[in-house]
Chain A
Amino acid sequence: MALINKVLPGYVATLWMQADPDPVALTDTQLGTWTGQVADIVGTSAGGTGTEGYLVPVEAIPAFGADDAFAAYSIAGARTGAKITTQNQVTSLTITAAWNPANAAQLQVRDDGYNGTTIRTYVIAVYDGTDTVAYAFNGRVGGLQWDMSPSAEGKFIFTIHPTGGNSYGWSNNT
Chain B
Amino acid sequence: MSTQQNPVVYAQAIQFQLNDILSPVPVYANFNRNWAKQTEFVTWQLRNVHQPVYTGQQQNNKGIDTPVFQMSVFNTSLEGAFNISNTILQSLHGYSGMFGDPDDNGFFIAKADVVWLYNTYDNEIGMQQIIMDCTLYIPT
Residues in chain A within 8 A of chain B (CB atoms): 4, 6-12, 45, 128-130
Residues in chain B within 8 A of chain A (CB atoms): 1-2, 62-64, 66, 96-98, 107-108, 110-111, 137-140
Q: Is the CB of A6 within 8 A of B2?
A: yes
17 additional A-B pairs beyond A7-B1, A9-B110, A11-B110, beta carbons within 8 Å, are A4-B139, A7-B2, A7-B62, A7-B64, A7-B140, A8-B139, A9-B64, A9-B137, A9-B138, A9-B139, A10-B110, A11-B96, A12-B110, A12-B139, A128-B108, A128-B139, A129-B98
List chain A residues, Cβ under 8 A from B111: 9, 11
Q: List 11 A-B contacts (CB under 8 A).
A: A6-B139, A6-B140, A7-B139, A9-B66, A9-B110, A9-B137, A11-B110, A11-B137, A12-B110, A128-B139, A130-B108
Given contacts A12-B139, A129-B108, A130-B108, contact A7 B63 (CB under 8 A): yes
- Identify the 6 closest CB pairs spanning chains A and B, nearest first: A129-B108, A11-B110, A7-B2, A9-B137, A11-B111, A9-B110
